[in-house]
């Protein structure tokens, strides 16, 4: 699988553009471990009272090599949130419910959002998982942190008047 970017600009007063995915050399090549891959275009309704599910770990054996999304048609603004937790055990990757928390990131129409792993640090104490100590994230240095996983990814449209569409790619 190749990731490619589109480039355009002005050089020496000449406008130049490369068609989408037309770079001669891929930026990164990924070897996949299974044939699982999903692309879907999802509508995020305006003025929604509940978020829309973009991906659920139970769809793909609780993992991915990458999750990527981008607002379609270069319009809109969305809020993304993902739920992380500790797996039940090393052989049962279902969420244990003991370290559950969320992370949030906003998504503009300018660039895609990419997660390159389903792993995330988690902590049983929410104050430590989300806390700041000495101006630094507490979870990075706390001895009680464990390796958790992303279990679902959600989005909600910021607009109260206009629906937007989001393209979602997930690959294992």
pTM of the predicted structure, to 2 decimals: 0.77
Residue 162 confidence (pLDDT): 94
Residue 37 confidence (pLDDT): 77
Residue 105 confidence (pLDDT): 94
Residue 36 confidence (pLDDT): 60
Residue 7 confidence (pLDDT): 43
Phi, psi of 37 (to 5 degrees): -160, 145
Instruction: Bin 6: left if φ > 0, else alpha if -120 < ψ < 50, else beta.
Output: beta
CA angle 166, 169, 160 (to 5 degrees): 15
All structural domains of the chain, each given as residue ranges with its CATH number in brackets, are: 1-31 (no CATH), 33-171 (2.60.120)
Question: Could you say which residues of the chain have pLDDT below 50?
Answer: 1-11, 16-34
Residue 26 confidence (pLDDT): 46
Residue 12 confidence (pLDDT): 52
Strands (DSSP E) found in 8-145: 8-11, 14-17, 28-29, 37-44, 52-56, 66-71, 77-85, 101-108, 113-115, 119-122, 132-133, 136-137
């Amino acid at each position: 699988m190749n990731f490619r970017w589109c480039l355009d600009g002005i050089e020496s007063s000449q406008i130049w553009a490369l068609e989408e995915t037309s770079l001669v050399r891929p930026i990164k090549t990924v070897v996949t471990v299974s044939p699982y891959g999903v692309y879907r275009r999802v509508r995020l309704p305006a003025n929604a009272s509940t978020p829309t599910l973009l991906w659920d770990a139970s769809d793909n054996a609780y993992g991915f090599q990458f999750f990527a999304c981008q607002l379609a048609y270069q319009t809109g603004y969305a809020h993304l949130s993902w739920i992380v937790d500790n797996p039940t055990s090393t052989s049962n990757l279902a969420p244990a419910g003991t370290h559950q928390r969320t992370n949030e990131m906003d998504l503009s129409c300018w660039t895609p959002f990419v997660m390159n792993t389903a792993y995330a640090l988690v902590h049983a104490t929410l104050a430590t998982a989300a806390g700041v100590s000495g101006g630094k994230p507490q979870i990075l240095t706390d001895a009680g942190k464990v390796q958790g996983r992303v279990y679902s990814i959600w989005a909600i449209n910021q607009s109260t008047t206009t629906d937007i569409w989001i393209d979602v790619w997930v690959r294992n």
